[in-house]
Amino acid sequence: MTVTIGPIKLCMPVILAPMSGVTDMPFRRLVKRMGVGLVISEMIASQAMIRHTRQTMKMIEKSADEQPMAVQLAGCEPEVMAEAARLNQDLGAQIIDINMGCPVKKVVNGYAGSALMRDELLAARIIEATVKAVSVPVTLKMRTGWDDHTRNAPRLAKIAEECGVQMITIHGRTRCQLYNGKSDWAFIRQVKQAVHVPVIGNGDVVTLADAEALLEQSGADGVMIGRGSYGRPWFPNQVAAYLSDKTLLPDPSLSEQHQIIKDHVEEMLRHYGEETGVKIARKHVGWYSKGLNKSTDFRVSINQADNAQAMKALIDEYYVALSDS
Quote the least distance from Cβ 249 to ligand FMN, whole Å: 19
SS3 state at 254? helix
Q: Which is nearer to ligand FMN, 151 or 171 (CB)?
A: 171
236 binds ligand FMN (CB under 6 A): no
Residue 227, marked binder: yes
Q: Is 181 in the site for ligand FMN (CB under 6 A)?
A: no
193 labelled as ligand-binding? no
Alpha-carbon span 316 to 137, nearest angstrom: 43
| Contact status: 72 vs ligand FMN (CB under 6 A) | yes
Please answer whether residues 57 and 106 qualify as being in contact, where contact means their C-beta atoms are separated by less than 8 angstroms: no
CB count in 10 Å sphere of residue 105: 10
Does the protein bind ligand FMN through residue 203 (CB under 6 A)? yes
- Report d(CA 324, CA 277) in Å as an integer: 29
Residues in contact with ligand FMN, shown as a per-residue x/- string from 119 to 148 under the rule CB under 6 A:
----------------------x-------
For the chain, the distance separating the N- and C-terminal CA atoms, rounded to the nearest angstrom, is 42
Tell me whether strands 8-9 and 4-5 are parallel, antiparallel or unpaired: antiparallel
Site mask for ligand FMN (CB under 6 A), range 261-280, x = bound: --------------------
Least Å distance between CB 325 and ligand FMN? Answer: 32
Residue least distant from ligand FMN (Cβ): 226
Instruction: Answer positive or negative: Cα dihedral of 29, 31, 37, 38.
Output: negative
Of the pair 141, 175, the CB lying nearest ligand FMN is at 141
| Contact residues for 138 (Cβ-Cβ < 8 A; gap 6+) | 85, 95, 96, 97, 98, 127, 130, 131, 164, 165, 166
Smallest gap, in angstroms, from Cβ of residue 307 to ligand FMN?
26
11 is catalytic: no
Which residue intervals of 232-273 are DSSP H helices? 235-245, 254-272
Chosen residue from 112, 116, 129, 205 binding ligand FMN by CB under 6 A? 205
Q: Is 228 in the site for ligand FMN (CB under 6 A)?
A: yes
By CB under 6 A, which span of 17-25, 128-136, 186-194, 270-278 interacts with ligand FMN?
A: 17-25
Query: Nearer to ligand FMN by C-beta: 141 or 299?
Result: 141
Name every residue whose Cβ is closer than 8 Å to that of residue 140 and which is 6 or more positions away in sequence: 97, 98, 100, 127, 157, 160, 165, 167, 168, 169
DSSP secondary structure string, 107-139? HHHTT-GGGGGG-HHHHHHHHHHHHHH-SS-EE
Our CB check for ligand FMN shows the closer of 72 and 94 to be 72
Among 8, 10, 38, 42, binds ligand FMN (CB under 6 A): 42
Give the one residue of 19, 38, 81, 197 binding ligand FMN; rule: CB under 6 A: 19
Tell me the window of 11-19, 210-218, 276-284, 286-294 that interacts with ligand FMN (CB under 6 A).
11-19
Q: What residues are paired with 95 via a beta bridge?
A: 70
83 binding ligand FMN? (CB under 6 A): no
51 labeled binding residue:
no
Residue pair 2/37 in contact (Cβ under 8 Å)? The answer is no
- Give every CB contact of residue 243 below 8 A, 6+ residues apart in sequence: 1, 12, 13, 14, 211, 212, 215, 223
- Give the residue numbers marked as catalytic: 102
What residue numbers does the annotated binding site for FMN cover? 72, 141, 171, 226-227
Interaction site with ligand FMN (CB under 6 A): 17-22, 42-43, 72, 99, 101-102, 141, 171, 202-205, 225-228
